[in-house]
Amino acid sequence: MILRGIAASDGIGLGRAVCVREENLDYSDVAYSGKESEKARLQAAIEEFEQRTSAMAEHIRQQVGDKESEILTGQIAMLADPFMRSQMQDAIDGGACAEAAVDNVCTMYADMFAAVEDEMMRQRATDVKDIRSRLLGILLGAASVDLSNLPTGTVLVTRELTPSMTVGLQKKNVAAIITATGGKTSHSAILARALQVPAVLSVTKVLEVVQDGDGLIVDGGEGIAILNPDERTRSEYLTRQKDYQARIASLKVYQNRPTVDADGKRYQLFANIGSAAEAEVAAQSGAEGIGLFRTEFLFMDRTSLPDEMVQYEAYRAVSQTMAGKEVIIRTLDVGGDKAIEYLGMEKEENPFLGHRAIRYCLDRPDLYKVQLRALLRAGAEEHNIKIMLPLVTSVDEVRAARELLEQCKQELSEAGLPYDKDIALGVMIETPAAALTADLLARESDFFSIGTNDLTQYTMAVDRGNAQVASLYTPFQPAVLRSIRGVITAAKEAGIPVGMCGEAAADPGLIPLLMAWGLDEFSVSTSSVLATRASIHRWREDEVKLIAQEALGLSTASGVEGYLKKVSAPEK
Protein backbone atom coordinates (compact mmCIF):
# COMPACT_ATOMS: atom_id res chain seq x y z
CA MET A 1 0.00 0.00 0.00
CA ILE A 2 1.40 3.40 -1.02
CA LEU A 3 0.79 6.39 1.26
CA ARG A 4 1.24 9.82 -0.31
CA GLY A 5 2.12 13.10 1.34
CA ILE A 6 4.48 16.08 1.10
CA ALA A 7 8.16 15.48 0.40
CA ALA A 8 9.69 17.35 3.34
CA SER A 9 13.13 15.87 4.03
CA ASP A 10 15.04 14.00 1.34
CA GLY A 11 16.38 10.50 1.70
CA ILE A 12 15.17 6.92 1.98
CA GLY A 13 14.46 5.13 5.24
CA LEU A 14 13.41 1.54 5.92
CA GLY A 15 12.13 0.24 9.24
CA ARG A 16 9.18 -0.55 11.46
CA ALA A 17 6.49 1.82 12.68
CA VAL A 18 6.36 3.30 16.16
CA CYS A 19 3.13 5.28 16.43
CA VAL A 20 2.95 8.24 18.81
CA ARG A 21 -0.64 9.15 19.56
CA GLU A 22 -1.92 12.25 21.33
CA GLU A 23 -2.11 12.09 25.12
CA ASN A 24 -5.34 12.60 27.00
CA LEU A 25 -5.56 16.24 28.07
CA ASP A 26 -9.19 16.22 29.15
CA TYR A 27 -9.69 18.66 32.03
CA SER A 28 -13.51 18.50 32.23
CA ASP A 29 -13.32 17.11 35.77
CA VAL A 30 -11.07 19.91 37.06
CA ALA A 31 -12.97 22.16 39.47
CA TYR A 32 -12.46 25.92 39.70
CA SER A 33 -10.66 26.68 43.00
CA GLY A 34 -10.87 30.46 43.03
CA LYS A 35 -9.00 33.31 41.34
CA GLU A 36 -5.88 33.35 43.47
CA SER A 37 -5.49 29.59 43.56
CA GLU A 38 -5.94 29.18 39.79
CA LYS A 39 -3.55 32.04 39.03
CA ALA A 40 -0.97 30.47 41.33
CA ARG A 41 -1.40 27.13 39.53
CA LEU A 42 -1.01 28.87 36.17
CA GLN A 43 2.12 30.73 37.27
CA ALA A 44 3.70 27.54 38.64
CA ALA A 45 2.95 25.73 35.38
CA ILE A 46 4.46 28.57 33.32
CA GLU A 47 7.63 28.56 35.42
CA GLU A 48 7.98 24.79 35.08
CA PHE A 49 7.33 25.10 31.32
CA GLU A 50 10.10 27.69 31.02
CA GLN A 51 12.57 25.56 32.99
CA ARG A 52 11.83 22.44 30.96
CA THR A 53 11.89 24.31 27.66
CA SER A 54 15.22 26.01 28.40
CA ALA A 55 16.72 22.59 29.14
CA MET A 56 15.19 21.20 25.93
CA ALA A 57 16.54 24.10 23.87
CA GLU A 58 20.04 23.57 25.21
CA HIS A 59 19.84 19.85 24.44
CA ILE A 60 18.70 20.52 20.87
CA ARG A 61 21.40 23.18 20.46
CA GLN A 62 24.09 20.67 21.41
CA GLN A 63 22.63 17.78 19.42
CA VAL A 64 21.32 19.55 16.29
CA GLY A 65 22.21 23.24 16.17
CA ASP A 66 21.49 26.82 17.21
CA LYS A 67 18.84 27.43 14.55
CA GLU A 68 16.70 24.50 15.67
CA SER A 69 17.07 25.36 19.37
CA GLU A 70 15.66 28.81 18.60
CA ILE A 71 12.32 27.17 17.84
CA LEU A 72 12.05 26.36 21.54
CA THR A 73 13.53 29.58 22.90
CA GLY A 74 10.99 31.32 20.68
CA GLN A 75 8.23 29.48 22.54
CA ILE A 76 9.54 30.84 25.84
CA ALA A 77 9.48 34.35 24.39
CA MET A 78 5.98 33.84 23.06
CA LEU A 79 4.64 32.69 26.43
CA ALA A 80 6.42 35.62 28.10
CA ASP A 81 4.23 38.01 26.10
CA PRO A 82 2.40 40.03 28.78
CA PHE A 83 -0.67 40.30 26.56
CA MET A 84 -1.02 36.52 26.27
CA ARG A 85 -0.55 36.09 30.01
CA SER A 86 -3.04 38.82 30.85
CA GLN A 87 -5.63 37.15 28.65
CA MET A 88 -5.16 33.91 30.59
CA GLN A 89 -5.51 35.76 33.88
CA ASP A 90 -8.62 37.55 32.60
CA ALA A 91 -10.12 34.17 31.75
CA ILE A 92 -9.45 33.00 35.30
CA ASP A 93 -11.04 36.16 36.65
CA GLY A 94 -14.06 35.21 34.57
CA GLY A 95 -14.37 31.85 36.30
CA ALA A 96 -12.18 29.58 34.15
CA CYS A 97 -9.80 27.10 35.74
CA ALA A 98 -6.13 27.36 34.76
CA GLU A 99 -6.50 24.54 32.22
CA ALA A 100 -9.44 26.24 30.50
CA ALA A 101 -7.60 29.57 30.46
CA VAL A 102 -4.57 27.99 28.78
CA ASP A 103 -6.74 26.03 26.35
CA ASN A 104 -8.94 28.94 25.28
CA VAL A 105 -6.22 31.55 24.89
CA CYS A 106 -3.75 29.25 23.12
CA THR A 107 -6.46 27.95 20.80
CA MET A 108 -7.39 31.52 19.88
CA TYR A 109 -3.77 32.36 18.99
CA ALA A 110 -3.28 29.07 17.13
CA ASP A 111 -6.39 29.69 15.03
CA MET A 112 -5.18 33.19 14.23
CA PHE A 113 -1.79 31.98 12.99
CA ALA A 114 -3.28 28.96 11.19
CA ALA A 115 -5.40 31.31 9.08
CA VAL A 116 -2.29 32.93 7.62
CA GLU A 117 -1.50 32.03 4.02
CA ASP A 118 2.30 31.90 4.41
CA GLU A 119 3.37 28.43 5.57
CA MET A 120 6.21 29.89 7.60
CA MET A 121 3.73 32.00 9.50
CA ARG A 122 1.68 28.89 10.22
CA GLN A 123 4.64 27.60 12.21
CA ARG A 124 3.48 29.96 14.92
CA ALA A 125 0.27 27.93 15.15
CA THR A 126 2.39 24.83 15.73
CA ASP A 127 4.33 26.64 18.45
CA VAL A 128 1.18 27.73 20.24
CA LYS A 129 -0.31 24.22 20.02
CA ASP A 130 2.89 22.80 21.49
CA ILE A 131 2.77 25.39 24.30
CA ARG A 132 -0.87 24.50 24.95
CA SER A 133 -0.26 20.75 25.08
CA ARG A 134 2.74 20.97 27.35
CA LEU A 135 1.18 23.52 29.72
CA LEU A 136 -1.94 21.37 29.99
CA GLY A 137 0.25 18.33 30.54
CA ILE A 138 2.04 20.09 33.40
CA LEU A 139 -1.23 21.26 34.97
CA LEU A 140 -2.79 17.78 34.68
CA GLY A 141 0.36 15.90 35.67
CA ALA A 142 0.39 13.97 32.39
CA ALA A 143 3.56 12.17 31.34
CA SER A 144 5.42 13.83 28.44
CA VAL A 145 6.33 11.94 25.28
CA ASP A 146 9.71 10.20 25.69
CA LEU A 147 11.37 9.11 22.46
CA SER A 148 14.80 8.47 23.96
CA ASN A 149 14.54 4.65 23.88
CA LEU A 150 13.25 3.98 20.38
CA PRO A 151 14.48 0.73 18.81
CA THR A 152 16.92 0.84 15.91
CA GLY A 153 15.17 1.19 12.55
CA THR A 154 12.18 3.12 13.91
CA VAL A 155 9.88 4.88 11.48
CA LEU A 156 8.26 7.47 13.73
CA VAL A 157 4.58 7.97 12.90
CA THR A 158 2.85 10.89 14.62
CA ARG A 159 0.33 13.65 14.02
CA GLU A 160 3.06 16.28 14.19
CA LEU A 161 6.73 16.29 15.17
CA THR A 162 6.94 19.01 17.80
CA PRO A 163 10.24 20.50 19.01
CA SER A 164 9.70 19.05 22.48
CA MET A 165 9.39 15.52 21.03
CA THR A 166 12.90 15.68 19.57
CA VAL A 167 14.53 16.02 23.01
CA GLY A 168 16.34 12.76 23.74
CA LEU A 169 15.65 11.50 20.22
CA GLN A 170 18.57 9.36 19.07
CA LYS A 171 19.03 10.05 15.38
CA LYS A 172 20.82 6.74 14.87
CA ASN A 173 17.63 4.89 15.87
CA VAL A 174 15.22 6.80 13.61
CA ALA A 175 15.07 5.62 10.02
CA ALA A 176 12.34 8.02 8.92
CA ILE A 177 9.42 10.18 10.02
CA ILE A 178 5.81 10.31 8.80
CA THR A 179 3.32 12.89 10.07
CA ALA A 180 -0.37 13.54 9.50
CA THR A 181 0.11 17.33 9.21
CA GLY A 182 2.71 19.91 8.20
CA GLY A 183 4.23 21.38 5.07
CA LYS A 184 7.70 21.84 3.59
CA THR A 185 8.47 24.81 5.84
CA SER A 186 6.73 23.56 9.01
CA HIS A 187 8.64 22.87 12.22
CA SER A 188 8.28 19.14 11.50
CA ALA A 189 10.09 19.60 8.19
CA ILE A 190 12.77 21.89 9.64
CA LEU A 191 13.53 19.46 12.46
CA ALA A 192 13.54 16.42 10.18
CA ARG A 193 15.98 18.09 7.79
CA ALA A 194 18.17 19.22 10.69
CA LEU A 195 18.26 15.64 11.97
CA GLN A 196 18.93 14.51 8.37
CA VAL A 197 16.09 12.02 8.61
CA PRO A 198 13.83 11.26 5.61
CA ALA A 199 10.33 12.61 6.18
CA VAL A 200 6.95 12.62 4.47
CA LEU A 201 4.35 14.98 5.96
CA SER A 202 0.60 15.50 5.65
CA VAL A 203 -0.18 11.83 5.08
CA THR A 204 -3.94 11.84 5.63
CA LYS A 205 -5.21 9.45 8.32
CA VAL A 206 -1.77 7.84 8.67
CA LEU A 207 -2.39 7.00 12.35
CA GLU A 208 -5.56 5.16 11.35
CA VAL A 209 -3.83 3.14 8.64
CA VAL A 210 -0.46 2.35 10.23
CA GLN A 211 -0.08 0.20 13.34
CA ASP A 212 2.91 -0.33 15.63
CA GLY A 213 5.33 -2.82 14.09
CA ASP A 214 4.21 -2.38 10.49
CA GLY A 215 7.02 -2.42 7.95
CA LEU A 216 7.57 0.88 6.15
CA ILE A 217 9.70 2.36 3.40
CA VAL A 218 9.80 6.17 3.37
CA ASP A 219 11.00 8.10 0.32
CA GLY A 220 11.36 11.69 1.52
CA GLY A 221 12.31 12.92 -1.94
CA GLU A 222 9.21 11.59 -3.67
CA GLY A 223 6.83 12.14 -0.74
CA ILE A 224 5.65 8.53 -0.48
CA ALA A 225 5.66 5.75 2.09
CA ILE A 226 5.16 2.07 1.28
CA LEU A 227 3.29 0.10 3.93
CA ASN A 228 4.38 -3.51 4.53
CA PRO A 229 6.48 -3.82 1.34
CA ASP A 230 7.43 -7.18 -0.17
CA GLU A 231 11.04 -8.36 -0.23
CA ARG A 232 11.60 -7.33 -3.84
CA THR A 233 10.54 -3.75 -3.10
CA ARG A 234 12.72 -3.65 0.02
CA SER A 235 15.74 -4.79 -1.98
CA GLU A 236 15.10 -2.15 -4.64
CA TYR A 237 14.88 0.65 -2.05
CA LEU A 238 17.98 -0.52 -0.20
CA THR A 239 19.89 -0.03 -3.44
CA ARG A 240 18.31 3.42 -3.90
CA GLN A 241 19.26 4.30 -0.32
CA LYS A 242 22.92 3.50 -0.94
CA ASP A 243 22.91 5.56 -4.14
CA TYR A 244 21.32 8.52 -2.33
CA GLN A 245 23.86 8.41 0.51
CA ALA A 246 26.70 8.38 -2.01
CA ARG A 247 25.23 11.44 -3.78
CA ILE A 248 24.90 13.38 -0.51
CA ALA A 249 28.50 12.64 0.41
CA SER A 250 29.61 13.89 -3.00
CA LEU A 251 27.92 17.30 -2.45
CA LYS A 252 30.39 18.28 0.25
CA VAL A 253 32.97 19.10 -2.41
CA TYR A 254 30.77 22.08 -3.42
CA GLN A 255 30.87 23.73 0.03
CA ASN A 256 33.45 26.39 -0.83
CA ARG A 257 33.28 26.37 -4.62
CA PRO A 258 31.99 29.22 -6.76
CA THR A 259 28.62 28.69 -8.43
CA VAL A 260 29.50 28.11 -12.09
CA ASP A 261 28.10 26.00 -14.91
CA ALA A 262 30.14 23.42 -16.84
CA ASP A 263 31.40 26.20 -19.16
CA GLY A 264 32.61 28.33 -16.25
CA LYS A 265 29.81 30.90 -16.41
CA ARG A 266 29.18 32.43 -12.97
CA TYR A 267 25.83 32.54 -11.17
CA GLN A 268 24.86 33.88 -7.76
CA LEU A 269 23.52 31.42 -5.20
CA PHE A 270 21.72 33.03 -2.27
CA ALA A 271 19.62 31.83 0.68
CA ASN A 272 16.11 32.65 1.92
CA ILE A 273 15.83 33.51 5.63
CA GLY A 274 13.16 34.62 8.10
CA SER A 275 15.25 36.03 10.94
CA ALA A 276 18.61 37.63 11.67
CA ALA A 277 19.78 34.43 13.38
CA GLU A 278 19.21 32.43 10.20
CA ALA A 279 21.80 34.55 8.39
CA GLU A 280 24.51 32.71 10.33
CA VAL A 281 23.16 29.38 9.10
CA ALA A 282 23.02 30.73 5.54
CA ALA A 283 26.65 31.82 5.69
CA GLN A 284 27.71 28.41 7.00
CA SER A 285 25.72 26.63 4.29
CA GLY A 286 27.82 28.18 1.54
CA ALA A 287 25.29 30.80 0.43
CA GLU A 288 26.81 33.75 -1.44
CA GLY A 289 24.24 36.22 -0.14
CA ILE A 290 20.65 36.58 1.07
CA GLY A 291 18.03 36.60 -1.68
CA LEU A 292 15.02 37.01 0.59
CA PHE A 293 14.81 38.22 4.18
CA ARG A 294 11.16 38.05 5.27
CA THR A 295 10.72 40.97 7.67
CA GLU A 296 7.18 40.14 8.83
CA PHE A 297 8.58 37.96 11.65
CA LEU A 298 9.75 41.16 13.35
CA PHE A 299 6.11 42.24 13.47
CA MET A 300 4.27 38.98 14.19
CA ASP A 301 5.73 37.87 17.52
CA ARG A 302 4.93 40.97 19.56
CA THR A 303 2.05 43.10 20.81
CA SER A 304 3.22 46.46 19.39
CA LEU A 305 5.09 47.78 16.37
CA PRO A 306 8.86 47.24 16.36
CA ASP A 307 10.35 50.74 16.42
CA GLU A 308 13.03 52.03 14.07
CA MET A 309 15.90 51.00 16.34
CA VAL A 310 14.64 47.42 16.76
CA GLN A 311 14.31 47.03 13.00
CA TYR A 312 17.63 48.76 12.34
CA GLU A 313 19.48 46.36 14.65
CA ALA A 314 17.90 43.30 13.00
CA TYR A 315 18.69 44.45 9.45
CA ARG A 316 22.17 45.61 10.44
CA ALA A 317 22.92 42.23 12.03
CA VAL A 318 22.14 40.43 8.77
CA SER A 319 24.13 42.97 6.78
CA GLN A 320 27.19 42.46 8.98
CA THR A 321 26.88 38.67 9.01
CA MET A 322 26.90 38.69 5.21
CA ALA A 323 29.54 41.45 4.91
CA GLY A 324 30.67 41.81 1.32
CA LYS A 325 27.65 39.87 0.06
CA GLU A 326 24.23 41.06 -1.12
CA VAL A 327 21.29 41.09 1.30
CA ILE A 328 17.85 41.52 -0.29
CA ILE A 329 15.29 42.51 2.34
CA ARG A 330 11.59 42.32 1.52
CA THR A 331 9.49 45.05 3.08
CA LEU A 332 6.54 44.14 5.27
CA ASP A 333 4.38 41.53 3.55
CA VAL A 334 1.39 41.55 5.86
CA GLY A 335 -2.31 42.34 5.81
CA GLY A 336 -5.52 40.53 4.96
CA ASP A 337 -4.82 36.91 5.87
CA LYS A 338 -1.76 37.81 7.97
CA ALA A 339 -3.75 39.42 10.73
CA ILE A 340 -1.80 41.34 13.38
CA GLU A 341 -4.15 42.45 16.11
CA TYR A 342 -2.32 45.61 17.13
CA LEU A 343 -2.39 46.91 13.53
CA GLY A 344 -6.19 46.97 13.57
CA MET A 345 -6.56 45.20 10.24
CA GLU A 346 -10.06 44.56 9.02
CA LYS A 347 -11.20 41.05 8.19
CA GLU A 348 -11.71 40.68 4.45
CA GLU A 349 -13.90 38.51 2.24
CA ASN A 350 -10.97 37.51 0.05
CA PRO A 351 -7.70 38.24 1.85
CA PHE A 352 -5.52 36.73 -0.90
CA LEU A 353 -6.66 39.57 -3.17
CA GLY A 354 -7.07 42.13 -0.44
CA HIS A 355 -5.41 44.95 1.46
CA ARG A 356 -1.99 43.42 1.97
CA ALA A 357 1.75 43.82 1.41
CA ILE A 358 2.70 46.92 -0.62
CA ARG A 359 -0.96 48.03 -0.77
CA TYR A 360 -1.25 48.12 3.00
CA CYS A 361 2.16 49.75 3.49
CA LEU A 362 1.54 52.56 1.02
CA ASP A 363 -1.72 53.32 2.85
CA ARG A 364 0.23 53.45 6.13
CA PRO A 365 3.20 55.73 5.34
CA ASP A 366 3.71 56.36 9.06
CA LEU A 367 4.42 52.65 9.56
CA TYR A 368 6.21 52.11 6.24
CA LYS A 369 8.63 55.01 6.61
CA VAL A 370 9.86 53.59 9.91
CA GLN A 371 10.89 50.43 8.09
CA LEU A 372 12.40 52.28 5.13
CA ARG A 373 14.47 54.52 7.43
CA ALA A 374 15.70 51.48 9.33
CA LEU A 375 16.73 49.81 6.07
CA LEU A 376 18.52 52.90 4.82
CA ARG A 377 20.44 53.25 8.09
CA ALA A 378 21.28 49.55 8.28
CA GLY A 379 22.87 49.74 4.84
CA ALA A 380 25.22 52.58 5.77
CA GLU A 381 28.18 50.43 6.83
CA GLU A 382 28.39 47.51 4.42
CA HIS A 383 26.34 49.02 1.55
CA ASN A 384 25.08 45.51 0.75
CA ILE A 385 21.36 45.88 1.51
CA LYS A 386 18.78 45.98 -1.28
CA ILE A 387 15.08 46.74 -0.69
CA MET A 388 12.44 44.57 -2.34
CA LEU A 389 8.73 45.41 -2.70
CA PRO A 390 6.21 42.52 -2.40
CA LEU A 391 2.97 41.93 -4.35
CA VAL A 392 3.54 44.74 -6.83
CA THR A 393 0.90 45.02 -9.56
CA SER A 394 1.60 48.44 -11.10
CA VAL A 395 4.23 51.06 -11.86
CA ASP A 396 2.35 53.50 -9.60
CA GLU A 397 3.18 51.37 -6.54
CA VAL A 398 6.89 51.38 -7.32
CA ARG A 399 6.91 55.13 -7.87
CA ALA A 400 5.01 55.75 -4.63
CA ALA A 401 7.44 53.56 -2.67
CA ARG A 402 10.43 55.31 -4.25
CA GLU A 403 8.94 58.69 -3.32
CA LEU A 404 8.61 57.61 0.32
CA LEU A 405 12.18 56.31 0.20
CA GLU A 406 13.40 59.71 -0.99
CA GLN A 407 11.46 61.41 1.82
CA CYS A 408 13.18 59.12 4.31
CA LYS A 409 16.60 59.98 2.88
CA GLN A 410 15.81 63.67 3.34
CA GLU A 411 14.69 63.11 6.95
CA LEU A 412 17.85 61.16 7.77
CA SER A 413 20.03 63.84 6.18
CA GLU A 414 18.32 66.52 8.27
CA ALA A 415 18.82 64.40 11.40
CA GLY A 416 22.50 63.92 10.59
CA LEU A 417 22.20 60.12 10.56
CA PRO A 418 24.31 58.03 8.14
CA TYR A 419 22.49 55.97 5.50
CA ASP A 420 23.06 54.28 2.15
CA LYS A 421 22.33 57.02 -0.39
CA ASP A 422 22.51 54.58 -3.32
CA ILE A 423 20.44 51.74 -1.88
CA ALA A 424 18.80 49.62 -4.61
CA LEU A 425 15.00 49.30 -4.84
CA GLY A 426 13.62 46.25 -6.61
CA VAL A 427 10.39 44.40 -7.24
CA MET A 428 9.27 40.92 -6.30
CA ILE A 429 7.46 39.56 -9.35
CA GLU A 430 4.70 37.36 -7.92
CA THR A 431 1.50 38.50 -9.63
CA PRO A 432 0.31 38.03 -13.23
CA ALA A 433 -0.01 41.82 -13.48
CA ALA A 434 3.67 42.26 -12.65
CA ALA A 435 4.70 39.49 -15.05
CA LEU A 436 2.64 40.97 -17.90
CA THR A 437 4.07 44.47 -17.35
CA ALA A 438 7.59 43.38 -16.47
CA ASP A 439 9.00 45.58 -19.24
CA LEU A 440 7.34 48.64 -17.69
CA LEU A 441 8.34 47.72 -14.14
CA ALA A 442 11.93 47.13 -15.23
CA ARG A 443 12.24 50.81 -16.15
CA GLU A 444 11.36 51.73 -12.55
CA SER A 445 13.33 49.01 -10.74
CA ASP A 446 16.95 48.31 -9.90
CA PHE A 447 16.40 44.54 -9.88
CA PHE A 448 13.76 41.79 -10.09
CA SER A 449 13.23 38.70 -7.95
CA ILE A 450 10.63 36.16 -9.03
CA GLY A 451 8.44 34.71 -6.26
CA THR A 452 7.20 31.50 -7.85
CA ASN A 453 5.03 30.41 -4.91
CA ASP A 454 2.48 33.20 -5.33
CA LEU A 455 3.10 33.63 -9.05
CA THR A 456 2.03 30.01 -9.57
CA GLN A 457 -0.99 30.41 -7.30
CA TYR A 458 -2.25 33.58 -8.95
CA THR A 459 -1.44 32.54 -12.52
CA MET A 460 -3.30 29.25 -12.14
CA ALA A 461 -6.11 30.76 -10.00
CA VAL A 462 -5.43 28.06 -7.42
CA ASP A 463 -5.60 28.19 -3.63
CA ARG A 464 -2.41 26.31 -2.83
CA GLY A 465 -3.86 25.21 0.49
CA ASN A 466 -6.82 23.46 -1.17
CA ALA A 467 -6.10 19.75 -1.64
CA GLN A 468 -8.85 19.38 -4.25
CA VAL A 469 -6.98 21.58 -6.73
CA ALA A 470 -3.44 20.83 -5.56
CA SER A 471 -2.57 19.13 -8.86
CA LEU A 472 -2.87 22.49 -10.63
CA TYR A 473 -0.41 24.16 -8.27
CA THR A 474 2.91 23.43 -9.96
CA PRO A 475 5.54 25.68 -11.60
CA PHE A 476 5.75 23.13 -14.41
CA GLN A 477 2.51 24.57 -15.82
CA PRO A 478 3.25 26.03 -19.29
CA ALA A 479 1.50 29.27 -18.27
CA VAL A 480 3.82 29.69 -15.29
CA LEU A 481 6.94 28.84 -17.28
CA ARG A 482 6.04 31.35 -19.99
CA SER A 483 5.52 34.01 -17.32
CA ILE A 484 8.92 33.29 -15.80
CA ARG A 485 10.64 33.40 -19.18
CA GLY A 486 8.92 36.70 -20.01
CA VAL A 487 10.03 38.30 -16.74
CA ILE A 488 13.66 37.23 -17.22
CA THR A 489 13.60 38.50 -20.81
CA ALA A 490 12.24 41.89 -19.73
CA ALA A 491 14.93 42.23 -17.07
CA LYS A 492 17.66 41.33 -19.56
CA GLU A 493 16.42 43.85 -22.11
CA ALA A 494 16.35 46.55 -19.41
CA GLY A 495 19.82 45.63 -18.17
CA ILE A 496 18.81 44.88 -14.58
CA PRO A 497 19.68 41.70 -12.62
CA VAL A 498 16.96 39.11 -12.10
CA GLY A 499 16.77 36.39 -9.47
CA MET A 500 14.29 33.88 -8.13
CA CYS A 501 13.44 33.39 -4.46
CA GLY A 502 10.53 30.93 -4.79
CA GLU A 503 10.85 27.19 -4.18
CA ALA A 504 11.23 26.56 -7.91
CA ALA A 505 14.77 28.00 -7.76
CA ALA A 506 15.97 24.80 -6.08
CA ASP A 507 14.12 22.35 -8.33
CA PRO A 508 16.73 20.36 -10.30
CA GLY A 509 14.25 19.95 -13.16
CA LEU A 510 13.67 23.69 -13.53
CA ILE A 511 17.28 24.81 -13.02
CA PRO A 512 18.36 24.15 -16.65
CA LEU A 513 15.38 26.17 -17.92
CA LEU A 514 16.23 29.11 -15.65
CA MET A 515 19.85 28.96 -16.78
CA ALA A 516 18.83 28.88 -20.44
CA TRP A 517 16.60 31.93 -20.03
CA GLY A 518 19.33 33.93 -18.27
CA LEU A 519 18.45 33.95 -14.56
CA ASP A 520 21.30 35.63 -12.67
CA GLU A 521 20.58 34.60 -9.10
CA PHE A 522 19.07 31.54 -7.41
CA SER A 523 17.84 32.00 -3.83
CA VAL A 524 16.99 28.78 -2.00
CA SER A 525 16.61 27.34 1.50
CA THR A 526 19.90 26.87 3.32
CA SER A 527 19.53 23.09 3.11
CA SER A 528 19.31 23.28 -0.70
CA VAL A 529 22.40 25.42 -1.35
CA LEU A 530 24.91 22.65 -2.13
CA ALA A 531 22.48 20.58 -4.21
CA THR A 532 21.56 23.66 -6.25
CA ARG A 533 25.23 24.51 -6.80
CA ALA A 534 25.86 20.95 -7.97
CA SER A 535 22.91 21.12 -10.38
CA ILE A 536 24.16 24.37 -11.93
CA HIS A 537 27.70 23.01 -12.17
CA ARG A 538 26.43 20.06 -14.21
CA TRP A 539 25.05 21.93 -17.24
CA ARG A 540 26.59 23.47 -20.35
CA GLU A 541 24.97 26.40 -22.15
CA ASP A 542 24.21 24.45 -25.33
CA GLU A 543 22.57 21.67 -23.30
CA VAL A 544 20.21 23.90 -21.32
CA LYS A 545 19.09 25.76 -24.43
CA LEU A 546 18.08 22.51 -26.11
CA ILE A 547 16.26 21.36 -22.94
CA ALA A 548 14.38 24.68 -22.66
CA GLN A 549 13.34 24.50 -26.30
CA GLU A 550 12.01 20.97 -25.87
CA ALA A 551 10.21 21.74 -22.58
CA LEU A 552 8.37 24.77 -23.97
CA GLY A 553 7.19 22.67 -26.87
CA LEU A 554 5.19 20.47 -24.48
CA SER A 555 1.58 21.40 -23.73
CA THR A 556 0.88 19.92 -20.28
CA ALA A 557 2.40 20.29 -16.82
CA SER A 558 2.73 16.52 -16.47
CA GLY A 559 4.52 16.32 -19.80
CA VAL A 560 6.92 19.11 -18.89
CA GLU A 561 7.61 17.71 -15.43
CA GLY A 562 8.13 14.17 -16.71
CA TYR A 563 10.56 15.34 -19.38
CA LEU A 564 12.56 17.59 -17.05
CA LYS A 565 12.77 14.95 -14.32
CA LYS A 566 14.10 12.50 -16.87
CA VAL A 567 16.82 14.76 -18.27
CA SER A 568 17.84 16.09 -14.84
CA ALA A 569 17.92 12.72 -13.07
CA PRO A 570 21.15 12.19 -11.09
CA GLU A 571 23.96 10.85 -13.21
CA LYS A 572 24.92 7.29 -12.47
Other CB atoms within a 10 A radius of the CB of residue 221 amount to 16
Angle subtended at Cα 46 by Cα 43 and Cα 48, rounded to the nearest 5 degrees: 110
Q: Report strand pairing: 521-524 vs 6-9.
A: unpaired
In this structure, what are the phi and psi dihedrals at residue 223, rounded to the nearest 5 degrees?
Answer: 75, 35
Q: How far apart are CA 292 and CA 273, in angstroms?
A: 6
Q: Out of 97, 106, 361, 501, which one is annotated catalytic?
A: 501
Contact indicator for 153, 15 with CB cutoff of 8 Å: yes
Q: How far apart are CA 56 and CA 50, in angstroms?
A: 10
Contact indicator for 17, 216 with CB cutoff of 8 Å: yes
Q: How far apart are CA 469 and CA 473, in angstroms?
A: 7
In this structure, what are the phi and psi dihedrals at residue 480, rounded to the nearest 5 degrees?
Answer: -70, -45
What is the DSSP code string of 368-394?
Answer: HHHHHHHHHHHTTTT--EEEEESS--S
Q: Is 187 a catalytic residue?
A: yes
For CA atoms 535, 538, 540, 544, the dihedral sign is negative
Q: How far apart are CA 420 and CA 383, in angstroms?
A: 6
Q: How far apart are CA 365 and CA 344, in angstroms?
A: 15
* Edge-to-edge strands, sheet with 2-4: 2-4, 224-227, 215-219, 12-20, 154-158, 174-179, 199-201, 6-9
What is the DSSP code string of 226-266?
Answer: EES--HHHHHHHHHHHHHHHHHHHHHGGGTTS--B-TT--B
Q: DSSP code of 356?
A: B
Q: Out of 97, 106, 187, 361, which one is annotated catalytic?
A: 187
Q: DSSP code of 272?
A: E
Find the helix packing angle between 365-378 and 308-321, rounded to 10°. Answer: 40
CB contact set of 148 (below 8 Å; sequence gap of 6+): 168, 169, 170
Q: Is 501 a catalytic residue?
A: yes
Single-letter amino acid code for the residue at 198: P
CA separation (Å) from 427 to 239, 329, 353, 406, 496? 46, 11, 18, 17, 11
Single-letter amino acid code for the residue at 197: V
Q: How far apart are CA 69 and CA 53, in angstroms?
A: 10
Contact indicator for 438, 448 with CB cutoff of 8 Å: yes
Q: How far apart are CA 296 and CA 185, in angstroms?
A: 16
Q: Which residues are 448's β-sheet partners?
A: 427, 498
Q: Which residues are 9's β-sheet partners?
A: 199
Instruction: List the catalytic residues.
Output: 187, 501
